[in-house]
Amino acid sequence: MEVWPGDAYPLGATYDGNGTNFALYSEVADSVTLCLFDDDGTESCVPLTEVDGYVWHCYLPHVVPGQKYGYRVDGPNDPEQGNRCNPSKLLLDPYAKAVSGQIDWNQSLFGYNFGDEDSRNDEDSAPHMMKAVVINPFFDWDGDRRPRTDYHQSVIYEAHVRGLTEQHPEVPEEQRGTYAGIAHPAVIAHLQKLGVTALELMPVHQFVDDSTLQEKGLSNYWGYNTIGFFAPQNTYGSTGDDGQQVQEFKAMVKALHTAGIEVILDVVYNHTAEGNHLGPTLSFRGIDNAAYYRLVEDDKRYYMDYTGTGNSLNVGNPHSLQLIMDSLRYWVTEMHVDGFRFDLASTLAREFYDVDKLSAFFELVQQDPVVSQVKLIAEPWDIGPGGYQVGNFPPQWTEWNGKYRDTVRDFWRGEPSTLGEFASRITGSADLYESSGRRPVASINFVTAHDGFTLRDLVSYNEKHNEANGEDNNDGESHNRSWNCGAEGPTDDPDVLSLRARQQRNFLATLLLSQGVPMISHGDELGRTQNGNNNGYAQDSELTWINWENMDAPLMEFTAAVNKLRAEHPTFRRRKFFDGRPVERGEEDVLPDIVWLNDDGTPMKPEDWDSQLGRSLGVFLNGQGIRGNDRRGQPITDASFLLYFNADDATVTVTLPPQEYGDLWDQVIDTAGEGADSDPVSSDGKLKVAAKSMVVLRAHPQEEEVHDHSVAASLAVLAGAKTRESTV
């Protein structure tokens, strides 16, 4: 085989149209061998003799896309000193752009013999190991343009590649559960109708199925077990795993961009699938264990674990940081994705032990001209000490706001003493973000996500029902802040069903009309259920897939209508926090930009917030008080709105505020469905807000020809929804 010296950069396997350059970093290695595999498993070995800056490299002029390969690294094998090299283990390239096959958990994959962790296992792991694949990097993007949707105009839809498409009747069977299925026109049409601007995909980096799950007949459905940070998961490709999954992923992104939808990836840079000291040797462990992982300082056999998965990536090492940054840039520049949601992001901020928002990782992101310009969303917690960091990430970051989720759930299930925090959460959580110079859009608002109950289950179960996971219902969160509305699980009681349907509308309307960026969990708008399972991580089955044949069509229409209202009115997607000061218009001051209202129509006083029994709240949003200009430099103005939230078990009669707020008010949304076809309500008039319901009113336009189609749509949907409730 003809072998040329090649280059130390870029790392990984890079095909240039004539041949392929291979480069692997390992500071600890004594020797590195590149292993090429034919389709029948025949292995050809190429010793790498060129080393620059601890990067071992060569160029093979006759290797083309589709070639499967791996590495063998010889060097010190002394676990007590943190070194675990073993040339009998075939290792996946950390920079592999595609992966072929899966592992089968044969004992040869482990560096020790079962039952004796201090022994050394020299069995060849190649027959049982996944292989890296040389890819064709060329793709016709045909003028692909990123939507670049501003945060304040964004609506995020969290989805799973398989769960979203596996049962969609319009997607061809061979494309279901794949990137091609996501790109199918029927799926994209659903997202567009819903008003989604960004699709946030659960992990699509190549991941590994845990052996313990496979033994139970389960799988790592969620995918939070990454082994390849550059490779799209091969089981989500509809055309095999010989590298074509890369082309299919790019085609998916291109189709979504054409529809105006951004692609955000849920990424797991905090740990890898190699687990703790008893895990297999698949890649990083055998290449340079101490460089890639955080080890226990006084006993380097063991791994620091801030994630609950066995190990934590060593973000204090420059080569690990390079791996992360190279991966992020690759997905932006080569795969055209629009942003990232970082799983357990607090782990990446642990420079040494404590969480430090000034850590090297965040400094690199801040100065990177590529990564700093896309959407960066943190899951701002891990399981380590001080790991809950909601509100503490750097200014260019947004965060999953767990406090929003908890507060909104508590309010609508009727928990006492929630008014003050509920008000803060629905207006953008200024207490968390304003002091650091961030805007309301720093808050990614959500009520449900992949981890926990679906929205329908949130209003149908008091307790988790995870028996299908095979852990005696001991897994998953036990404190869900859920309420079953009077019956646990399925019921024929029409009153319970009606209340559950109303609560789902309450949650969705609250979410979409709160300041910040709303995130909907896939299928919530369709009434998706997991039968009370709040930890579907191992359930790649009908339990977690969307059942498109049994969807709640009225709830879908309602969600789309409310989202349309949000899109049409900047009042609900402000770029700055409310300040409560009078709005200057001309020579006189008018009402403040926001006024909190008692049931009698008067502004709330400080002591009104302290009521432990208070479960209803009104708020006036001044459409003239949106401080800022549009892209043309013109002041942003909008209609004014009144919102009433009643989480009590009884109807509340409210008095609308006096004429200075507005003469007439149109009922735009009534989640109880009782405001449909109602006449406008005058200032100082009375309005009944049904138990467990939310009412939104818009200032009646002065000119009759001005008509808001979303108003009529919302009311019509609600009227129709009541006929469906008895069967949901």
Just list the catalytic residues: 343, 379
One-letter amino acid at 201 equals L
Alpha-helical regions (H) of 295-429: 318-333, 360-367, 402-412, 419-426
Pick from 132, 134, 130, 133: nearest CA to 281: 130
Are the CB atoms for 310 and 292 separated by under 8 Å? no
653 backbone φψ class: left, alpha, beta (φ>0; ψ -120 to 50)? beta
Q: What are the respective helix, strand and coil percentages of the chain, to the nearest 5?
A: 30, 20, 50
- Across 130-239, where does the E strand assignment appear? 131-133, 156-159, 198-201, 205-207, 226-232
* 521 CA to centre of own chain: 9
**Cβ-proximal residues to 73 (8 Å cutoff; 6+ apart), any chain:** 26, 29, 31, 32, 33, 85, 86, 87, 91, 286, 287
| 327 residue type, one letter | S
Distance of CA 195 to the CA centre of its chain: 17
Rounded Cα distance between 720 and 706, Å, is 25
- CB 608, CB 598: distance < 8 Å: yes
Neighbours of 355 (CB within 10 A): 24
Taking alpha carbons only, the member of 254, 284, 345 closest to residue 82 is 284
| CA distance readout (Å), 271 to 290, 304, 313, 332 | 14, 10, 5, 21
Q: How far apart are CA 207 and CA 99, in angstroms?
A: 10
* End-to-end Cα, the chain, rounded Å: 66
Which residues 6+ apart lie within 8 Å of 492 measured at CB? none
Half-sphere exposure of 580 (CA within 13 A, CB side): 9
For residues 691 and 651, give the distance between their C-alpha atoms in angstroms, rounded to a whole number.
Answer: 4
Q: How far apart are CA 676 and CA 54, in angstroms?
A: 71
For residues 450 and 160, what is the distance between their CA atoms, to the nearest angstrom? 9
Residues recorded for the chain: 728
At 36, list the tokens: 């090429």
